[in-house]
Amino acid sequence: MEKPLLQCLRPETNLISDTQVLVDINVNGITAETLVHTGSMFCHISETFQRKVGSTLGPSTKQIGLAVKDFVSKSLDECDVSVQIGNREYPNVTMHVMDGLPTDVILGRDFMEQHSSVNFHFGGSPPPLSLGRLRP
């Protein structure tokens, strides 16, 4: 079975920043400012936003590697939430709860890898750039 395609649209539709790949998604029916982050292996939810959506917490022992060499942070807890992007529903998406996130949610590679590809439309005039398959 072919994996579905996930697309993030141009700023005049649902991107909310010109400097990062930010989109609005729904988490348990509540709009979340979301960073789409190919460098993150996992999905994360801010501690504040997790309380807002009211998801049930479970223990987490994940050590989260950060973008700075040798820096790690421990996930506070984890929870499963329902995510909606456009007309697509994703039940039971596991999110790692972290303090101090720059957005409500970070969608990581574990979410994106459900799809054959994830496209971002920035509005430039040259044809699309395809980087091929990501390294594991």
* Domain regions of the chain by residue span: 12-120
pTM for this model (two decimals)? 0.74
Alpha-carbon distance of 21 to 75, in angstroms, equals 23
Q: Are 22 and 103 in contact (CB under 8 A)?
A: yes
Report the pLDDT value the prediction gives residue 112, as an integer from 0 to 100.
92
- What pLDDT is attached to residue 63? 57
**Which positions of the chain have pLDDT values less than 70?**
1-20, 59-75, 134-136
Distance CA 101, CA 7 (A): 23
| Homologous superfamily in CATH for domain 12-120 | Acid Proteases (2.40.70.10)
In the numeric block, the tokens 């979301």 are attached to 34
* Interstrand relation of 30-36 and 22-27 (parallel, antiparallel or unpaired): antiparallel
Whole-number Å distance between alpha carbons of 60 and 30: 24
